[in-house]
Amino acid sequence: MKILIGIPAYNEEKLISQVVRSLPKKLKGIEDIDILVVDDGSTDKTIQKAKEAGAKVLRHILNRGLGGALKTILSYAKKKQYDILVTFDADGQHSPLDIPKMIEPIIKDGEDVVIGSRWKASKHIPFSRVVINKLANIITFLLFSIWTTDSQSGLRAFGKKAIKNIELQSDGMEVSSEFFREIYRNKLNFQEVPVVVKYTYYSRAKGQSLTNAPNILFHLLIRLLR
């Protein structure tokens, strides 16, 4: 089996080398591990740092947004026929040690999608993240009858069926909930596993905040109700 670890990145020169180098070189049941960084129109040295750390790199000339970067990652995984795709944030908040338990349900149990849930393991999560995630969880449930404890998780794993069938439309941050539309639409099996997330000043500045929450939720409703 071969796995792709895909990292969407925008102006991440500060940590991208550290994140890429921290990823596992060996995984049980996996023969080949590739790391792909999609540089989403960065104006800093993200590309250079990612390449120096050993990652494959694809670049968007213009900044398209998180969804745009994830679409490129998914398209690459389909084209290259990877057995498993893992999405991993570039801001250092995820632990590489969680990757083995993310892919285990796919390898052993045949799950199609695995979502890493912060709320089952992490503590001291910023209030803004709690509010945004709870609202997005409720909207996701109302639209698709799928309950998840972490609809906005950036740490996900996809098996071959999911890689083949998921078709994303969103370019913005609402893409995280769009994955659940695709789980519903394609009748994919999914499972949550607890993961640890480390919040720093850097990662909090990079992610969602209460000030942009209304915009995210508005676009989520517009996109998903089409």
Query: Going from the N-terminus, what domains does the chain have, and what CATH number goes with each?
Result: 2-124+150-168+186-205 (3.90.550.10)
Range of lowest pLDDT (76-85, 127-136, 156-165): 127-136
Kindly state the average pLDDT of the residues 129-155: 85
Q: How would residue 205 be classed by pLDDT, with cut points 50, 70 and 90?
A: low
Token code pair at residue 59: 């670049």
Look at residue 145 in the predicted model and tell me its pLDDT: 83
Q: What mean pLDDT do residues 50-75 have?
A: 97
Helix/strand/coil for 160: helix
What is the predicted pLDDT for the residue at 209? 53
SS3 168: coil
d(CA 191, CA 197): 18
Query: Which ranges of the chain does DSSP label H, i.e. alpha helix?
Result: 16-22, 46-52, 66-79, 99-109, 127-144, 160-165, 175-185, 201-206, 213-224
Q: Is the pLDDT of residue 150 over 80?
A: yes
Better-scored residue on pLDDT, 15 or 120 = 15
Would the CA dihedral through 195, 200, 203, 206 be positive or negative? positive
More confident residue, 208 or 118: 118
- pLDDT of 213 higher than 70: no
State the average pLDDT over residues 125-146: 78
162: closest CA among 114, 91, 198, 195?
114
What is the per-residue pLDDT for 143? 82
> 224 falls in which pLDDT band (50, 70, 90)?
low
Report, as an integer, the average pLDDT of 100-124.
Answer: 87
Mean pLDDT calculated for residue range 47-57: 97
